[in-house]
Amino acid sequence: MTVALTEDQKLPLAEDQALRDALAAADLPTLLMTYVHLSRDMALLDKFQPHVHALSSGKQTAVPDDLAAELREKMRALLTSPNEADLTIPEPALLQRIMSVGMGEPVSKEFIPLLLEQSGLGPQHDRSHRPARQQIPQGFKVLIIGAGISGLAAAIKLKEGGYDFEVIEKNSEVGGTWWVARYPGAGVDTPSHFYSYSFALNPEWSTYRPRGREMLDYLIRASHSYGVRDHIHFETEVLGMRWIEDEQVWEVELNDKHGGKSTVRANAVINAHGRLSRWVWPKIEGLKDFEGPLVHTAEWDPDLDLKGKRVAMVGTGASAAQCGPAIVDEVEHLTVFMRSGHWVVPSEWAAAKVPEGVQWAMRHIPFYLAWFRFGIYWTGSDGLYSNLIKDPEWPAESPSVSLVNERLRKFCMSNLEAKLGDRPDLMEKLTPDCPVFSKRIVMDTNWLTMFRRDNVTLETAGIERVLPGAIRTADGTEHRVDAIILATGYDVARMAGWLDIIGRDGVNLRELWGDEDPVGYFGLMVPGFPNYFHIMGPNAGPNHGAGVNLMAEAQVHYILECLDHLVETGASAMEPTEDANATFNDRVQGQMPKMIWTHPKANSYYKNSKGRVIGSWPFRLLDYWNESREPKLDDFVIHEKATAEETAA
């Protein structure tokens, strides 16, 4: 199968300085995989294989200069010669060989379908042949709550499928978290070239991890280019929703920016309001008494001026690690209040600019961007899964759970020692006692070195109370501060938020799940709530890598499969059975004792206060992707449409 190329990628390319610069700057394993794809030159794979090592091996990939020069020259000749490149997708066996050599480790055949989709190398799922595409009944409507990365993906795929839909977005623009997250240094932990839609690869990222504004711009562009903006009701909130059994529809109450209330009916609802839409204000005595600026990173005041101020930052998670280094140069003093430490992974390159030559290669060399994305996915996703599995023979009191996890801990420790080895006071405070990956890791973009500065203090004594102009810690010390930044995260356990979602028999999902006990089927559906799909629901978190974009796309695919089934069969609704829900959760929770998140020192938002892991998917991402290809119909109650006589009765 031949893949359509953009106008910029039409071959032959001009033999000019731009091409030479791109080949010189290109990542060698990516260039190798791209070249063999285009040339089918297996001999060059054999030459490179001894020199390319897996990231997890600890060895450095060291390609001899003459071999690198040979690759660049062969690629130059191929790209500048007419009709020489093979633009078809290689057969699975060849793909597997290219991937394995390029990554320096075996890539199993079972990964190929997922990798083709998520790299952008292969085609997206084509439903155009499905009978449902010609049978969608007039008036069949889907409502999406939220236009963040998940809701926008749902809108794009519903539009492709020919469904009538509306999107309700409380903000004035798409983007969700990335519209809201405007604190200094805001960005994404997942690498730029993967944290994007597989069907909308972006060669224009300016850094290797996207900044918040650039991520927002990407999502805005996607909303325009895929033509879904006309379906979005901005500055409109969902107040609540109720399943109308007699009519087999959801009735949703809305409130627009003018305060006007209305209701809309939908055959199905996709709740994509996101886990990061409800931030946490910590329960600290006296917080409301503080007289200076008080701001949460998730609700940043763009007019806040911190220049020359004594600033307190409460929290040491991902947002703190981004915000702190971004403001430290302008404040008089920064005091960071830490409750518990996070493992920090060195990532100085994350903020590095993507060289123009690399951007040129991504724009112009066929498949280069897709192979680069594949490499990011492979090294940052299921390749990390082994770190999560407890070795039953490993000492229970150890701050790691297996040999591979201990190696990762030592890698993180070497980063700590390299930057703070001559500061035993900081080393002691900043070395966590939990295993790496037992809670969210933090990217180290000048975070650790920040604590060496004369105008930074790390405070580990607990906060006793906030005073009008200071923070008093448990040891009685008063820290005078002019402003307080709360980097205290999100209420991810309250997955229904504050919405009244009333299903069959008047059951309210918000009350059913309570503050911290959500339980669902496949991280997406709930018995008693027909045609209700909760994206990134219970136990759907990709907590060992890859990013929510993969899970969102998998869940949207599954939702479309469910809707197609309804349309094709003429049914009105579907919901998982209680037995299927129990079986799914028994399987998920049965795996948890084997996982790192249940280590005695693992305290994170992945768990609720009872110790039940509510957020994380405990198997490979490949497993979730495979299971999302189509619903297991035996797990569902399928409701047939009522006849006119039944409706009247």
| Contact predicate 336/320, CB 8 Å | yes
SS3 label, residue 548: helix
Residue 383 confidence (pLDDT):
84
- The pLDDT, as a whole number, for residue 648 is 46
| Residue 483 · residue 307 · CB < 8 Å | no
Token couple for 422:
């001559």
Treating both helix axes as pointing N-terminal to C-terminal, what angle do 356-364 and 17-25 enclose, rounded to 10 degrees? 110
Q: Does the pLDDT of residue 57 top 80, yes or no?
A: no
- CA-to-CA distance for 613 and 451, rounded, in angstroms? 33
DSSP state of 494: -
Cβ-based neighbours of 14, under 8 Å, separated by 6 or more = 80
In three-state secondary structure terms, 192 is coil
The pLDDT mean for the chain works out to 93
- Which distant-in-sequence residues (6+ apart) come within 8 Å of 26 by Cβ? 72, 357, 358, 361, 365, 368
* pLDDT mean over 329-333: 98
Q: Which pLDDT band, with edges at 50, 70 and 90, does 8 fall under?
A: confident
CA–CA distances in Å: residue 132 to residues 140, 144, 163, 587, 643: 12, 20, 10, 32, 21
- pLDDT at residue 470 greater than cutoff 80: yes
Angle at the Cα of 395 (from 393 to 396), degrees rounded to 5? Answer: 105
Write out pLDDT tens, residues 231-247: 999 999 999 999 999 99
Look at residue 132 in the predicted model and tell me its pLDDT. Answer: 62
- Does the pLDDT of residue 404 top 90, yes or no? yes
Provide mean pLDDT across the span 194-206: 94
**Whether the predicted pLDDT of 644 surpasses 50:** no
Taking residues 175-193, what's their average pLDDT? Answer: 90
Alpha-carbon span 373 to 375, nearest angstrom:
5
Range of weakest confidence among 53-57, 392-396, 519-523:
53-57
Please indicate whether residue 306 or residue 55 has the higher confidence score (pLDDT): 306
In angstroms, rounded to a whole number, what is the distance separating the alpha carbons of residues 238 and 132?
A: 29
Q: What's the token pair of residue 12? A: 């032959």
Q: Is the peptide bond before 203 cis (omega within 30 degrees of 0)?
A: no
Ranking 297-301, 368-372, 476-480, 558-562 by mean pLDDT, the lowest is 297-301
Mean pLDDT of all residues in 598-624:
94
Q: Read off the DSSP letter of residue 276.
A: G
Give the span between the Cα atoms of 443 and 320, in whole angstroms.
Answer: 11
Q: For residues 148 and 272, is the Cβ–Cβ distance under 8 A?
A: yes
**What does pTM read for this prediction?**
0.95
pLDDT of residue 212: 86
Residue 307's Cβ-count burial label (10 Å; 0-12, 13-18, 19+) is exposed
In the prediction, which pLDDT does 123 show?
73
pLDDT at position 647 over 50: no
Token pair of 102 as six digits: 């390029």
Percent of the chain residues topping a pLDDT of 70:
96
> How does residue 147 score in pLDDT terms, banded at 50, 70 and 90?
very high
Residue 476 neighbours by CB distance under 10 Å:
8
Which residue in 451, 163, 423, 441 sits closest to 333, CA to CA? 451
Q: How far apart are CA 169 and CA 174, in angstroms?
A: 7
Per-residue pLDDT of 517-543, as tens digits, reads: 999 999 999 999 999 999 999 999 998
Closest to 589 in 3D by CA, of 554, 538, 629: 538
Please state, in angstroms and rounded to a whole number, the distance separating the CA atoms of residues 174 and 319: 21
> Is residue 55 pLDDT above 90, yes or no?
no
Determine the Cα–Cα distance for residues 245 and 507; give it in Å rounded to an integer.
12
Which amino acid, one-letter code, is at 361?
A
Write phi, then psi, for 299 (nearest 5 degrees).
-140, 55
Predicted local distance difference test score (pLDDT) of residue 1: 57
Domains in the chain (CATH in brackets) are 7-125+356-382 (no CATH), 139-278+493-641 (3.50.50.60), 287-343+400-486 (3.50.50.60)
Over range 41-46, report the average pLDDT: 95
Residues 6+ apart with CB under 8 A from 505: 528
Q: What pLDDT, on a 0 to 100 scale, did the predictor assign at position 572?
A: 96
CA 212 – CA 300 distance, rounded (Å): 13
Q: pLDDT band for 133, please (50, 70, 90 cuts).
A: low
Cβ(519)–Cβ(495) under 8 Å?
no
Q: Answer whether residue 649 shows pLDDT above 50.
A: no
Calculate what percentage of the chain has a pLDDT beyond 90: 81
Pairwise CA distance, residues 265 & 322, whole Å = 42
Whether the pLDDT of residue 643 is over 60: the answer is no
Q: What is the pLDDT of residue 126?
A: 63
Instruction: Quickly state the pLDDT bin for 481 (edges 50, 70, 90).
Output: very high
Q: What angle do CA 464, 469, 475 make, to 5 degrees?
A: 30
Hey, is 21 helix, strand or coil? helix
Q: What is the mean pLDDT of residues 585-600?
A: 97
